[in-house]
Structure 1
Amino acid sequence: MAASKEDHQELHVLMVAFSAQSHINPLLRLGHSLLSKGLHVTLATTEVVYHPYFASSAAVPDSITINGIQVLFFSDGFNQEDRKNTNLDQYMEKIQIVGPTSLSNLIKNHFVAGPKKLACVINNPFVPWVADVAEEAGIPCACVWIQPCAVYVIYYRFYNELNQFPTATEPEKVVELPGFPLLRHQDLPSFVLPTNPFGSMPKVLSEMFRNVKKFKWVLANSFYELEKDAKDSMADLCPILPVGPLVPPSLLSEDEHDQKQDVGIEMWKPDDSCMKWLNNRAPGSVIYISFGSIMVPSAKQIESITVALKRTKRHFLWVMKTLEKSIVADGGGGIPLDFLEETREQGLVVSWCPQTKVLVHPATACFLTHCGWNSVLEAITAGTPLIAYPQWSDQPTNAKLISDVFRTGIRLEQDGDGFVGSQEVERAIEEIVGGSRSEEIRKNAEMLKLAAREAVADGGSSDRNIQLFVDQLIGKR
């Protein structure tokens, strides 16, 4: 039985997020659900987030508010100039040293010394030291896992040495896990492979998964009906509670009121001109292409995609960020001017777009994606078929799920360097738009779209899990 708002009127939760859009937005959306259940919610993230996301002012305020959620900022130990010349490993090492003290001071200043009762700290996976801060303060801690439950299972089993994985001497080893299809090395998260170049990320993940018992709850940005087998496989090891999909509410409802309710932040301002362009295209005629907020394909890969698009003669909407704001692959470059000229009537290239509006637009036939989990969930809740072009981190596993578990898309075949030839891109486009599997893929996509909406509706599986979490917090009080 849900408690009334009066029963826990002063109960607060503090969410702590790594300073990236894909990490902050799921927490903000969960926070919005917790607000609707009567809790008070605060989000803490590093000062670096303030300037690009919230304002251009040089001075970072003590706090701001987003749709009822207070946002506080703490130091990551860098000034703006130093941060520009810092790579991922250096940043992760520094914030692991500076972050705990900064966060401890924030908790003391805003909760311990004040009238607010802090009932729980909620973090996400790439700031595992938050659990230590919460433990020292005597506060229960929860983690919001922002990738699929399947990836949670893989990491847990890898870092706790429960199964055999590829090694330097056996790089092609096939992995067998309960509730999974067989996983080849190209299906695994890049951080568990011996070829992973990022030293800091395995350290962060190892710390979390070897000490996962520090979390009283692990909540997942997924839903039970999507990942039943993966979720159930952890029931006796370290349970995970799906509370998603934590996506913009406009994807989960036809209500116009919900179109304006998203609490998520945007890294860049979207170019809405593409919506007028889409309005003038036939239903199911446009290939939507976007590789997220970090990756820029190599010049060779861009050329391969342009050749494929010209051959298909299908309409396309391609998001290509300005290179100054992106991490560029070796040889990365913009889309060739001659291609833009040749395809002026066929396609449109923009620097950023309102992705959720594009995914639900009747003209959109499919989504060629890097397989970031937020983008995959948005496509699932929109009912949009996918062409999977994964790069790193969880993306290879997400691509495996898309093609072999969810069956809502096609995975591109990549060579040993990750390159995809133009014939393969063309094949995938034609197959998903009008090939032998296209009808099955569309039916599966529509089925999961409806399942996602049911999961977050009143009494749905994710709604029940959120209420269970809230009720346990109230019981702790």
Structure 2
Amino acid sequence: MSVDERVNVLMVTMAFQGHINPMLKLAKHLISKGVHVTIATTEDGRYRMLNTANTNPNNSDVNSQIKLAFFSDGLTPEFDRSDGESLVNTIREKGPKNLSTLITDLTQVHNYSCVIVNPFVPWAIDVIAEHGIPCALLWIQASSVYSIYYRFFKNIDQFPNLEDPNEIVRLPGLPPFEVRDVPTLILPSTPFYFREFTRELYNALDKVKWVLGTSFYEIEEEVVDSLASITPFYPIGPVVSPFLLGEKEESDVSVDMWSVEDSCMEWLDNKPPSSVIYVSFGSMLVTSQTQMDNIATAMRNSNKSFLWVLKPGSNKDNVAEFSNGFSEETKERVLVVKWCPQEKVLMHSSVAGFISHCGWNSTLEAVVAGVPLIAWPSWTDQPTTAMLIENVFRNGVRLRCGEDGNASAEDIERCIRCVTEGPSAEEIKKRAREMKEAAWKTLQDGGTSSKNISQFISDLIAGKPDRA
């Protein structure tokens, strides 16, 4: 589809890897259809990008395809943004004015047909409305999570006592599940500022013209159908890099917050097919010492090879000591890196399973690559995604965690064997292959996601503003 050069889209996101990635991948889809894209993110992202070899923010673009723009979140580059309360409160106070100023500057050059935001900048929706630009929400979690939040904050369905983790939740489109599996941001134990931040989003939805989901219809069919009667929702995923879907790998467009260690690919090349367990808990979570110790014990006992991502900040003083007690033979089958090209790792023939925190980006990438999952959720949408993996998708198993969120070494080993050995592994692998096939088909001509993306772009063309 050819699109007139006056069709421009602005995307707004926080500078977290898991937030930027789906925006970037949707941008690639739009660019392939002729749409011009600018991604606006917070200034702290600029500073982190400057320290990686994968982006060049000095030119304010990514490989000359996607323009980058920056606005301040009101904090200094050195501020520890893991302090969630300070970050949320400050960006709610300072972000609207700073983003508004940036939009004013950008619209001196382009008239935007749409601004696409993600769920973690709900205050941006009002800013966009004040500028008179149509707004879309890119929902970067499972469609099921959107449904749970929507029904909760809009008081559409009755929820049980959320204080009791064993209570059963019954909602349209989903099998019965326990309160421990709901997104943590609606739980009474969640800090008030996080709950209110989420409530803001659902209060602002009347100003959003499109809600675009990064999942795809075929894996959440019943829940998407259940949403149709209460709110427009359009799955356009899986939003992943094109090469994961069998397309020719080009000079890839990337915005990495951490320096990638490509040495792991050579290491994988020297491993037998389906012999490696990949371990990564994303860009935000810090691996506790208990987690490290239990994973290391499971590694020793399972006789599998492991590629383990321990990002900067994850007990870096103890990383070198994690292999205490390993034999020399065991050490040879374990590689620890700070960051890796995850999609390429998941596509590698040597990878047999993925121990994941169940971030939605990682889950989708595993689905498209056909890799079985071992779910180790922590917070926000991750417990719900873990429930989906085990009970709805059936492409993996879930670790049994204690109240501290940690799983025993014995249970980690049990799950590794579940996805690699015996009848259970064969069923999980079969289901993973089926989901991979469905993921590839949905974005082909005539697929459900392809149709939804085309309709969205048609809407942009029909409503594009003319320049004076």
Q: 2:19 — aligned with what? A: 23
Q: What corresponds to 1:377 in structure 2?
A: 364
Distance in 1, matches of 2:398 and 2:84, equals: 28
- 1:336 paired residue number: 322
Rounded to whole Å, the distance in 1 between the matches of 2:433 and 2:66 is 33
Is the CA contact (8 Å cut-off) linking 2:182 and 2:384 kept in structure 1? yes
- How far, CA to CA, are the matches of 2:349 and 2:23 in structure 1? 30
User: 1:44 aligned to 15, 40, 60, which one?
Assistant: 40
**CA displacement at 1:30 relative to structure 2:** 1.0
* 2:450 equivalent to 1:463: yes
Match of residue 285 from structure 2: 295
- The structural deviation recorded for 1:61 is 5.4
TM-score, normalised to structure 1, is 0.91
Shift of the alpha carbon at 1:288? 1.2
Find the aligned partners of 1:93 and 1:155 in 2 and give their Cα distance. 21
* Counterparts of residues 259-408 of structure 1 (less than 5 Å): 259-323=249-313, 326=314, 335-339=321-325, 342=328, 343-408=330-395
Select which of 210, 222, 233 maps to 2:226.
233
The amino acid across from 1:260 in the alignment is E
Instruction: Specify the alignment match of 1:10 in structure 2.
Output: 6
Contact 1:67 / 1:263 at 8 angstroms: preserved in 2? no
Q: Distance in 2 between matches of 1:56 and 1:414?
A: 35
Q: Give me the CA root mean square deviation.
A: 2.3
Q: 1:216 aligns with which of 209, 216, 236?
A: 209
CA positional deviation for 1:218 = 0.2
* Change in CA separation of 1:333 and 1:172 when aligned onto 2, cut-off 3 Å: farther
**Among residues 43, 68, 73, which one is paired with 1:71 in the alignment?**
68
- For these two proteins, the number of residue pairs brought into alignment is 461
Shift in CA distance, 191/60, structure 1 to aligned 2, threshold 3 Å: same
Post-superposition offset of 1:296: 2.5
Mapped to 2, the partners of 1:181 and 1:261 lie a distance apart of: 42
Q: Look up the match of 2:127.
A: 133
Greater alpha carbon shift after TM alignment, 228-237 vs 32-41: 32-41
Partner SS, residue 227 of structure 2 = coil
Evaluate the alpha carbon distance shift between residue 21 and residue 85 of structure 1 in structure 2; reply closer, same or farther with a 3 A threshold: closer
Instruction: Give how far 1:170 is off.
Output: 4.2
Higher relative contact order (CA 8 A, sep 6+): 2
Kept in 2, the 8 Å contact 1:231–1:239? The answer is: no
Q: Which runs of 5+ in 1 are unaligned?
A: none
SS in 2 for 1:338: coil
The amino acid across from 1:99 in the alignment is G
Most deviating of 150-159 and 171-180: 171-180
How far did residue 63 of structure 1 move?
3.2
Equivalences for residues 35-114 of structure 1 within 5 A: 35-55=31-51, 63-81=60-78, 83-84=79-80, 87-111=83-107, 113-114=108-109
Distance, in Å, in 2 between the alignment partners of 1:86 and 1:315 is: 32
1:244 equivalenced with 2:237 (yes/no):
yes
Q: For the Cα contact (< 8 Å) 1:29–1:262, is it kept in 2?
A: no
* Percent identity over paired residues: 43
Report the residue type matching 1:366 in the other structure. Answer: G
Give the letter aligned to residue 421 of structure 1. S
Query: Structure 2 counterpart of 1:414, which letter?
Result: C
| Per-residue deviation, 1:289 | 1.0
Contact kept, 8 Å, 1:16 with 1:122, in 2: the verdict is yes
Moved over 6 A (4+): 331-334
CA distance in 2 between counterparts of 1:368 and 1:56 reads: 26
Contact 1:248–1:264 (CA under 8 A) maintained in structure 2: no
Are the counterparts in 2 of residues 306 and 339 from structure 1 also a CA contact under 8 Å?
A: no
SS of residue matched to 2:332: coil
When residues 286 and 170 of structure 1 are mapped into structure 2, their CA distance, relative to the original with a 3 A threshold, is closer
1:147 aligns with 2:141: yes
Q: For structure 1, which segment, 87-96 or 29-38, has the greater mean C-alpha deviation from structure 2 after superposition?
A: 29-38
User: Residue in 2 aligned with 1:180?
Assistant: 174
* Matched-pair contact (CA < 8 Å) for 1:359–1:384: yes
CA shift digits 1:275-329 (9 cap, x unpaired): 2222221111111111111223321222122112211111111112232xx5x69
For the 8 Å contact 2:114–2:136, the answer to whether it is kept is yes
How far, CA to CA, are the matches of 2:162 and 2:318 in structure 1?
A: 29
Offset at 1:56? 7.6
Q: What is the rounded CA distance, in whole Å, between the counterparts of 1:170 and 1:363 in structure 2?
A: 42
Task: Answer yes or no: is the 8 Å Cα contact 1:299–1:333 preserved in 2.
Answer: no
Instruction: Give TM-score scaled by structure 2 length.
Output: 0.93
Supply the distance in 2 between the matched residues of 1:169 and 1:72 (Cα, whole angstroms).
43
Offset at residue 332 of structure 1 (A): 8.4
Q: CA deviation at 1:251?
A: 0.7
Q: Any conservation in 1 of the 2:357–2:382 contact (CA below 8 Å)?
A: yes
Tell me if structure 1 keeps the 8 A contact 2:294–2:407.
yes
Alignment partner, residue 193 of structure 1: 187
Q: Secondary structure at the match of 1:365?
A: strand
Give, as a single letter, the amino acid of the residue that structure 1 aligns with 2:287: P
Shift of 1:388: 0.6
Greater Cα shift, 11-20 or 343-352: 343-352
Q: Give 1:416 shift.
A: 2.0
1:425 and 1:56, CA in 2 relative to 1: closer, same or farther beyond 3 A? closer
Q: Of the candidates 145, 152, 160, which is equivalent to residue 158 of structure 1?
A: 152
Q: Distance in 2 between matches of 1:54 and 1:298?
A: 28
Going from structure 1 to structure 2, the CA distance change for 1:62 and 1:382 (only over 3 Å counts) comes to: closer
Q: Aligned AA for 1:461?
A: T
Q: Distance in 2 between matches of 1:335 and 1:243?
A: 44
| Deviating more after overlay: 11-20 vs 333-342 | 333-342
CA contact (8 A) 2:50 2:57 kept: no
TM-superposed CA distance for 1:173, in Å, is: 2.2
Residue 117 in 1 paired to residue 111 in 2? Answer: yes
Task: Give per-residue Cα distances to partners, 1:253-286, cap 9 Å, x unaligned.
Answer: 1x4xx32344232222222222222222111111
Cα displacement (A) at 1:336: 2.2
Q: CA deviation at 1:236?
A: 1.4
Q: Is the 8 A contact 1:356 1:378 kept in 2?
A: yes
